[in-house]
């Protein structure tokens, strides 16, 4: 019978140095499945999750910003800051998980609208009718997605039922705001 120590894969530790992390990332990007056990350990940590690409909305936004800014790092930084400010303003003090998702979508769609508008404006001088139509449809589609995300956030916030908890003489009373009732017509 074979020695179990020989058959069991070597337990790999989470990288502790930048060089170890770089080597692990190189393996994962190359499709090395032997890196999976350590990757599975790492994705439990939000920092590593982001580093390994688990924040897809952030990755998509960075791709759009990179495409829009090319080598202009000032422009890229300004767009990222604008997105941070929008995110903070839309989230408010105590966002729910669904509000966080919708705000991310709104900010992403806002970026796509701006990208479509900029590319349309930059290419309109030499555009054929077919290309101009493509750009216009792209702008319209991006704007529809943006407005749909904004509307979804508004609906979620409107449907949120406020609850008031009052403690009187050690008795808890929960008061829920009444739902809007439309009068029945005879």
Shared domain for 75 and 41, answered yes or no, is: no
User: Please, are residues 115 and 64 in contact by the beta-carbon 8 Å criterion?
Assistant: yes
Helix (DSSP H) and strand (DSSP E) numbers for the chain: 8, 2
- Look at residue 173 and tell me if it is in a domain: no
Shared domain for 61 and 143, answered yes or no, is: yes
17: left (phi over 0), alpha (psi -120 to 50) or beta: beta
- Look at residue 36 and tell me if it is in a domain: yes
Angle at Cα 37 formed by Cα 34 and Cα 38, nearest 5°? 100
- Look at residue 182 and tell me if it is in a domain: no
Shared domain for 149 and 60, answered yes or no, is: yes
Shared domain for 107 and 18, answered yes or no, is: no
- Look at residue 76 and tell me if it is in a domain: yes
- Look at residue 167 and tell me if it is in a domain: no
Q: pLDDT band for position 2 (50/70/90)? A: low
Q: pLDDT tens digit string along 148-174?
A: 999 999 999 999 866 666 667 666 666
Whole-model pTM: value is 0.68
Number of domains in the chain: 2
User: Please, are residues 43 and 54 in contact by the beta-carbon 8 Å criterion?
Assistant: yes
- Look at residue 179 and tell me if it is in a domain: no
Q: pLDDT tens digit string along 67-109?
A: 999 899 999 999 999 999 999 999 998 999 999 999 999 999 9
Give the model's pLDDT for residue 152: 96
- DSSP helix/strand/coil, 64: helix
Shared domain for 129 and 89, answered yes or no, is: yes
Q: pLDDT tens digit string along 6-51?
A: 544 566 788 888 888 889 889 988 999 998 888 888 888 888 777 7
Shared domain for 38 and 84, answered yes or no, is: no
Give the model's pLDDT for residue 72: 94
The domain containing residue 11 runs over which residues? Answer: 4-51
Distance of alpha carbon 2 from alpha carbon 89, whole angstroms: 62
166: left (phi over 0), alpha (psi -120 to 50) or beta: beta
């Amino acid at each position: 019978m074979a020695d179990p120590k020989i058959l069991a894969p070597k337990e790999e530790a989470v990288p502790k140095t930048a060089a170890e992390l770089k080597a692990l990332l190189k393996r994962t990007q190359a499709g090395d499945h032997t890196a999976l056990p350590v990757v599975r350990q790492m994705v439990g940590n939000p920092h590593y999750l982001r580093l390994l690409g688990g924040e897809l909305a952030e990755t998509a936004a960075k791709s759009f910003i990179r495409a829009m800014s090319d080598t202009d790092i000032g422009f890229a930084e300004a767009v990222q800051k604008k997105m941070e400010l929008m995110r903070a303003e839309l989230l408010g003090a105590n966002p729910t998980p669904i509000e966080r998702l919708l705000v991310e979508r709104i900010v992403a769609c806002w970026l796509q609208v701006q990208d479509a508008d900029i590319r349309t404006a930059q290419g309109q001088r030499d555009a054929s009718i077919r290309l101009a139509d493509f750009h216009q449809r792209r702008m319209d589609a991006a704007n529809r997605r943006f407005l749909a995300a904004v509307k979804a956030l508004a609906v979620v916030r409107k449907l949120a039922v406020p609850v008031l908890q009052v403690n009187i003489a050690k008795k808890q009373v929960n008061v829920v705001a009444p739902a809007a009732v439309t009068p029945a017509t005879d």
